[in-house]
Amino acid sequence: MQGNRHFCLFFLFALIFSCEEEEVSLLTYPSVYHKSELESTGKLRVFSLAGEINNNSVINRFIQNDTSFYNYYFYYINNEHGIMDTVYFVDRQHARLSHQYTNMDCMPAMGRRNLILTQTDTASICCTYGEVFTRSFSYYLVRVKPEVHSEFIYSSTRGDYYFGFWGQRKYVFNESHGQLVAPMILYIKHSVNYYSGFENNFLQPDFYSNLAVGDTVTLMESVILLEK
């Protein structure tokens, strides 16, 4: 009986190891991927504190207000240098990501579905307005969150506070048919303080539960494709 249990454990470890090897082997080393295209994966969505809004008249009103912003950012991310331009995989433990005109050394971690690149160096990252990063909209919005080691006041003028944090950014990819696929969320937050921008990440399903009363968020999900 004891021998059978050991055999079963050995078989289980071998199976897990072989699956992990299969996932990791999808990438070859060294290899370089370059941004090739940006594709939309859905229509504009509208959220409030109560959840997603499905009223067409409300959605159409926000489409009229926000379409020009999303068209601009869609063009900007797709055609301008600096946004997820290049990923260079040195080996299984080292990668270099060119994003926002910065080259960052990262550590790749391949899971069953996602490839996460984590900055190897702890950096001072700025900034969020009005509240520390871990209580900000951009933190609640995304599913894969950066590692935050500490937070600090970056500047304060006439009662307006800007916060930064020490931490390590995480960047999200999938590997599919020889391409890297980077999920991208384009968003606008309509509130007393107007926020807009984009995040390389997956959407956190319950992010809206942290909105304030009266806040409304529109967003569009897209992907950046990178090819060898």
Strands, E assignment, the chain: 31-40, 45-48, 51-53, 86-91, 94-99, 102-110, 115-119, 123-129, 147-157, 160-168, 170-176, 179-190, 195-200, 216-227
Whether omega for the bond prior to residue 19 falls within 30 degrees of 0, making it cis, is no
**DSSP tag of 181:** E
Helix residue spans in the chain (DSSP H): 2-24, 56-79, 137-141
Tell me which of 60-69, 103-112, 199-208 is least confident. 103-112
**2 band by pLDDT with thresholds 50, 70 and 90:** very low
Average pLDDT over residues 180-188: 97
pLDDT reported for residue 203? 97
Tokens at 54, concatenated: 């499905």
pTM for this prediction = 0.85
- Write the pLDDT tens digit of every residue in 112-157: 779 999 999 999 998 888 889 999 999 999 999 999 999 999 998 8
pLDDT reported for residue 157? 84
pLDDT reported for residue 96? 97
Mark 159-193 as b/e (b = at least 16 C-beta within 10 Å): eeeebbbebbbbbbbebeeebbbbbbbbbbbbeee
Tell me which of 1-5, 100-104, 122-126 is least confident. 1-5
What average pLDDT does the chain have? 88
- Write the pLDDT tens digit of every residue in 15-37: 443 444 444 447 889 999 999 99
pLDDT reported for residue 127? 86
Q: How much of the chain exceeds pLDDT 90, in percent?
A: 74
Average pLDDT over residues 76-99: 95
User: Is 86's pLDDT higher than 60?
Assistant: yes
**172 band by pLDDT with thresholds 50, 70 and 90:** very high
- CA separation for the pair 185, 162 (Å, rounded): 23
